[in-house]
Amino acid sequence: MKMKKIAGLFFVIFWALYLSGCSMFPAGPQPSDVNHWQVGTSAGRLGRLTENQLAQLKQAGFDCIEIGLDRIRSADDFAAKIEQARQLQQSAQITGIKIWSIHIPYGRDIDISLCDPANREKALEEVSRMISLCEYIKPEKLVIHASFEPVPENERAQRFEACKESLAVLVKTAAVYNARLTVECLPRTCLGNTSSEILDLINAIDGLEVCCDVNHLLQETPQEFIKRVGSPITTLHISDYDGVDERHWLPGQGIINWNNVLDSLVNIEYQGPFMFESAGTAREKIEVWNKLKTDYLLSVDK
């Protein structure tokens, strides 16, 4: 009899919560989720960032950064980069800023989609050495381009298959250092210039994630890309453009509908940082981020 009373009481409480619009279960994506995103910025290249510069970024309001790498030209060059990586990680710990991502360099002879097996193997070897710097830098993500450009249309299919083979290798290399490889959407004739091509890549390769660069999307809007690709998007490159070509302007200076972009990211339950890769000072970027959040939250409250 006592158990029946307890069960009945539980039912009454549950029904009252349901009718009042409350829930005992977790809610789905909420606009206010943007308040929990960290904010980051591309901050320069390894070996060119001082502890003072990191401290200034932290003081400005940034939680994390992305750094770029230069090419590795020799054994001595690689040894120097290891020392630079150690110093950078030490400075990041002292200043309290996180190194979220590393951007792998790209170029004509470091193109992971090269059709010639010998040349592609050389590119993979150099990229793998760069990835090994994660042992010292300890980023969450690695950002890589699927190709250099231009990609002739009559080579596109072959280059795409070569790219898949390369990415499958590099995903495993990154995992050795507890980092996740993210392929960046690109403009013009580059591989990965649409959501369809990006989906083809990530569906073919276990563990591959996506960096959404919103100012690279010339054949669909950023919100369309985000909606189609979904949760594999784990990092961003944020800037604005004119829709004709990449511009890397501050958000608000181009044509992107930022309310739609933020809403799309909320709906896929994006968890990474809002990572600027744009013109503008640190202060300007933080001011823009605060305005984008405010405008978005006001728009969904109407």
Per-residue pLDDT of the chain (302 residues; tens, 9 = 90+): 444 444 444 443 344 434 344 444 456 899 999 999 999 999 999 999 999 999 999 999 999 999 999 999 999 999 999 999 999 999 999 999 999 999 999 999 999 999 999 999 999 999 999 999 999 999 999 999 999 999 999 999 999 999 999 999 999 999 999 999 999 999 999 999 999 999 999 999 999 999 999 999 999 999 999 999 999 999 999 999 999 999 999 999 999 999 999 999 999 999 999 999 999 999 999 999 999 999 999 999 87
pLDDT for position 28:
86
Maximum Cα–Cα distance for the chain, whole Å? 81
- The answer to whether 66 and 41 are in contact (CB under 8 A) is yes
Rg (CA), the chain: 22
pLDDT for position 12:
39
Cβ neighbours for 34, distance < 8 A, ≥ 6 positions apart = 262, 265, 266, 293, 296, 297
Nearest to 156 by CA among 142, 146, 166, 167: 146
User: What does the chain come to in residues?
Assistant: 302
- The answer to whether 224 and 195 are in contact (CB under 8 A) is yes
Q: Which DSSP string do the residues of 137-172 spell out, in sequence order?
A: H--SEEEEES--S---GGGHHHHHHHHHHHHHHHHH
Amino acid at 252: G
The pTM assigned to this predicted structure is 0.91
Domains and CATH numbers, the chain: 34-301 (3.20.20.150)
Alpha-helical regions (H) of the chain: 2-19, 51-60, 75-95, 117-132, 134-137, 156-176, 195-204, 222-229, 258-267, 282-301
- The answer to whether 93 and 110 are in contact (CB under 8 A) is no
Amino acid at 296: Y
pLDDT for position 27:
67
